[in-house]
Amino acid sequence: MKIIFLLLASACVHIGCDGKPPKFVEEKLNRTAASKPKAIETGNALYNAAFTTDSLWRRGYEETQTYSVTQSADGKVYRGTEIWTTRLEAFSRTTYAAADSEQNSLPVLVQHRIGHLAIETQTQSDTGEKKTRIQTAEMIAVDLRNAAALVKYALSLQSKTNIVSKTLRRLVGRSMLYYHTLREGDGETELEQDVFLEDQIPLSMRALNFAPDKVFYRHVTASPRFAAALSPEVYEETEFKILAMDTVETNGTRTAAWHLQVSLNNATVSSYWFDTNFPHPLVKAALHGGTEIEARATGK
């Protein structure tokens, strides 16, 4: 099985820099099935109950983080910035959308990621592409009381030549990924009801009860940002392991961080570093395929 494990795919993967439609537009929609995962450790042994407290994610509180993103692909280097804002919102228990009232609503932790990528270097064959720009907007919503439970996902990618949007919605007994592109129209595919996207790792894994050598497993579904994500692949027996604390340097600042290693078929595919200070925001990530994410600034 081809291993692809990226959080932020390169701009040319999503929207061709040559103006051509992405390959995944031509692929057929197929249902994605996954077998039952290994026994997964749950409860306070795995997750920190304090992460869900109202005193932390109180109404009106908004956390802001700025990240530098570097992506190498096809002889090009893409550099850009993403701003992540995280806040508590009330969602309807029936429609999994923003609720008009907090009464009988579901507390949901919502993270918005707004970014811009641009080509920094180019090969001789890429003449004229210096001004290529990709605008990205991504929304990830998880259940505050169970940070691994994805409630809603939305993605928008825009360049001068194309617009792509994807939205995942929870329905009764199933999850649906809806797709739209300016060039090819609409489509949809069904995912597992308890889908776990790799895009949610930087948010969901903040709720871990961090301790060295803790290991757990999940079936991770490939990012909808991938070219072949109309019917995303499900990675079997994806292993998550918390390693010892590291000291990482980002933007001239040294931070003590927990190292979370993600492995597939006994091979490490991604590494994430979360601040040891509660509530453990992402500090740095090194992802399969050459993507690097580093914190630049945080705020409220």
Closest CA to 230 of 267, 197, 191: 191
| Structure confidence at residue 34 (pLDDT) | 40
Tokens 């090009």 — which residue? 76
| Longest CA pairwise span in the chain (Å) | 60
Instruction: Identify whether 6 is part of a domain.
Output: no
Closest CA to 200 of 216, 179, 184, 222: 222
Instruction: Identify whether 2 is part of a domain.
Output: no
| Structure confidence at residue 181 (pLDDT) | 83
Instruction: Identify whether 187 is part of a domain.
Output: yes
| Structure confidence at residue 206 (pLDDT) | 96
The domain total for the chain is: 1
Closest CA to 198 of 296, 267, 248, 269: 269
Q: How confident is the model at residue 119 (pLDDT cuts 50, 70, 90)?
A: confident
Instruction: Identify whether 70 is part of a domain.
Output: yes
The domain in which residue 209 lies consists of 11-299
The predicted-structure confidence for 56-91, as pLDDT tens digits, reads as follows 898 789 999 999 998 776 677 888 999 999 999 988
Gap between the Cα atoms of 190 and 33, Å rounded? 9
Tell whether the model's pLDDT for residue 250 goes beyond 70. Answer: yes
The predicted-structure confidence for 186-197, as pLDDT tens digits, reads as follows 888 898 888 999
Gap between the Cα atoms of 151 and 108, Å rounded? 8
Instruction: Identify whether 4 is part of a domain.
Output: no
Tokens 């304090």 — which residue? 50
Q: Which position has the higher pLDDT, 61 or 129? A: 61
Gap between the Cα atoms of 37 and 235, Å rounded? 10
**Is 283 in contact with 245 (CB distance < 8 Å)?**
no
Tokens 């592409």 — which residue? 129
Gap between the Cα atoms of 252 and 296, Å rounded? 9
Instruction: Identify whether 134 is part of a domain.
Output: yes
The predicted-structure confidence for 153-205, as pLDDT tens digits, reads as follows 999 988 887 888 999 988 777 889 998 888 778 888 898 888 999 999 999 99
Q: How large is the average pLDDT for residues 27-47?
A: 46
Tell whether the model's pLDDT for residue 25 goes beyond 90. Answer: no
**Is 119 in contact with 86 (CB distance < 8 Å)?**
no
Q: What is the mean pLDDT of the chain?
A: 80
